[in-house]
A and B are shown apart, each in its own frame.
Chain A
Amino acid sequence: MATNTNQTDETLLSAIRSGGQARENALRYLYLLPGLRETVARFVLDNGGNRSDAQDVFQEAFVLLDRNLREGRFEGKSALTTYFVAIAKWRWVTLRRQQGRYTEISPAQYDGAVESPEAETLRAEHRELLAGAMGQIGERCRELLRLYQLDYSMEEIAGKMGYSGADTAKKEAFRCRMRLREVLENDPLWADVNA
C-alpha cells in the first residue's frame, strides 16, 4: 500500500523527527488518513479479533510508529503507511500469541518485503512501576521530561516552561531525572525489575 497522501513521506518524517507542533500536525495527518484504520481493522477482524481489538491495535501501532520514527528505525524502504500497517499486523499477531491463541499467519503476511517493525512495547511490570513513579514527581517534572524525551532543545524547553534560560532548563531536567531515580529505587517493584 503506497502512501496516498498529499504530503510526502519525507515531509512527514522530517516533521515527526523535528518535534514540537510540526510533529503533532504530521501525526494527526497520518492518524486520520482515510483508509488506514480500515486496513488495520480488516486484518484484525479477519484474524480472530473484534472492533475493540482493532481500535486498540491501531492506537498501539501508532505509538510504536511514532517511537520508531523518532529513534531512526525507519529506513524508508517502503511507504510510511505500509510500514505502519506492518507494525499493526505484527502487533496483532504478537497479542494473539501472548493470549495463547495460535494465529496461522506467517511473517510474510504482516511484514512482507518491508523491514522488520522492530517494535517493542513496554513490559507490563515496567509499565506499572513507571506509572507509579511518574505519579510522584509532579506535573512540571513530567512535562519537562516529556519535552526532553521528544528532543526539544533546552532553549525550547526554557521557553515553554518559563525558565530563565537553557542552563536553568538543563539543571531542572537533571533535577527531575534524579527525583525520578530516587522514587524508582525506593519502589518495592524496583527489586523485581532489576532482578
Chain B
Amino acid sequence: MNRDEQIFDKIEAYLRGNLSAPDAAAFEAEIAADPELARLVKTHRLERQGLEWLVERDLLAKMNTWEREAEQQETTPALRISFVRRWWAAGVAALLVLGVFGWWLLQAPSDVGGPPPVVSVPKPKPPIAAPPKTTPRPSPKPPTAGSDDDRVAGTAQPKPSQPAPSLPPAVKPPATPPVPAVDYPALASTYYKESDFMQKSGNGGIDPPGYGQALDSYRSGKFD
C-alpha cells in the first residue's frame, strides 16, 4: 500500500467515525497544521457525498419499484375479475350473434341462396267459372241479373275513389304445390257449347262432323 492509499484510508476512517477519540483528535490537529491535508479531506468529503448520491439514486428507484409492486398487488384481483367478466360478456355476445344468424337462416331460406321465387301469374279463368273477387262497385241501382251492363261492371277496374282491392298474392308467392293437370277438353265440354265455336251453316245448323273431328284430334294430342 503506497502513501496515497494510506492517507486515503486514514481520511476515510476519520469521516466514517471509525477512529477512536484520541486518534480522531490527533488527526484533526494534523489537518489544522497541513493545508494540503485539509484540502484532501475536503475533497474526500465531497466524494463521499457523491457516493451518497449513488445510494440515494438507487433507493429512489427502489421506492418507485416498491410502489408499483404494491399497486399491482392491489389491482391484480380486480383485474382478474374484470378479465373473467370480459370473457363471459364476449361469450354471451358470440352466442347471441350465432343465435340471431341461425334464426335468420331458418326463417328465410328462400332469400339466401335458394331458388328464385316462382311468381305465378293467375291463369285467366273463364268469367263464368271464376268471376274476379272484387268488391262490387256500389251502384245507384241494384244490379239486374243477365244485363250486359252488370257484367261489364263486375269485371271493370274499381274507380280510384273506391277502396283499393286486395292485391293478388304476387309479392309473396304462396307455397306452390304442383299444379294438377287440367283437363281442358273436359272444361271446354262443361262450359262451352259447340255453337259457341262452330260457324253456323247456311241452313242455320252446325257442322257436326268437323267439330267432332277437331275435338277428337285435340283429345288425341294431334294439334297439327
Per the bound structure, the CA–CA distance linking A122 and B55 in Å amounts to 12
Distance between A169 CB and nearest chain B CB, rounded to angstroms = 14
Contact with A along B45-88 (1 / 0, CB 8 A): 01111111111101110110010001000000000000000000
Given A31-B66, A177-B8, verify A184-B54 contact (CB < 8 Å). no
SS of B interface (majority): helix
Find chain A residues with CB under 8 A from B135 CB: none
- A52 interfacial contact with B, CB 8 Å: no
Find chain A residues with CB under 8 A from B42 CB: 194
Find chain A residues with CB under 8 A from B52 CB: 67, 122, 149
Indicate which residue in A59, A67, A133 contacts B50 across the interface (CB closer than 8 Å): A133
Q: Is the CB of A184 within 8 A of B47?
A: yes
Q: Is the CB of B54 within 8 A of A149?
A: yes
Q: Is the CB of A28 within 8 A of B51?
A: no
Per the bound structure, the CA–CA distance linking A131 and B49 in Å amounts to 10
Find chain B residues with CB under 8 A from A31 CB: 63, 66
Given A32-B66, A181-B43, A184-B43, verify A130-B59 contact (CB < 8 Å). no
| A112-139, CB < 8 A from B | 122, 126-127, 130-131, 133-134
Residue of A nearest to B64 (CB): A59
Find chain B residues with CB under 8 A from A145 CB: 50-51, 54
Residue of A nearest to B60 (CB): A59
Find chain A residues with CB under 8 A from B50 CB: 130, 133-134, 145, 180, 184
Q: Is the CB of A148 within 8 A of B66?
A: no
SS of A interface (majority): helix
Q: Is the CB of B66 within 8 A of A181?
A: no
Q: Is the CB of A63 within 8 A of B62?
A: no
Find chain B residues with CB under 8 A from A66 CB: 55, 59
Given A146-B58, A150-B55, A174-B8, verify A122-B47 contact (CB < 8 Å). no
Indicate which residue in B46, B63, B70 contacts A62 across the interface (CB closer than 8 Å): B63
Q: Is the CB of A32 within 8 A of B70?
A: yes
Which of B5, B8, B59 is packed against the most chain A CB atoms within 10 Å?
B59
Indicate which residue in B5, B46, B54, B66 contacts A134 across the interface (CB closer than 8 Å): B54
Q: Is the CB of B66 within 8 A of A28?
A: yes
Per the bound structure, the CA–CA distance linking A134 and B8 in Å amounts to 19
- A193 interfacial contact with B, CB 8 Å: yes
Contact with B along A71-102 (1 / 0, CB 8 A): 11000000000000000000000000000000
- A158 interfacial contact with B, CB 8 Å: no
Find chain B residues with CB under 8 A from A148 CB: 51
Indicate which residue in A72, A131, A134, A146 contacts B17 across the interface (CB closer than 8 Å): A72
21 A–B contacts, CB within 8 A, in A order? A28-B62, A28-B66, A31-B66, A32-B70, A59-B60, A62-B59, A62-B63, A122-B49, A122-B56, A127-B53, A130-B50, A131-B53, A133-B50, A146-B51, A146-B54, A146-B55, A174-B8, A180-B47, A181-B47, A184-B50, A193-B46
5 more contacts with CB within 8 A, not counting A67-B52, A177-B8, A180-B47, are A62-B63, A72-B17, A126-B46, A131-B53, A149-B52
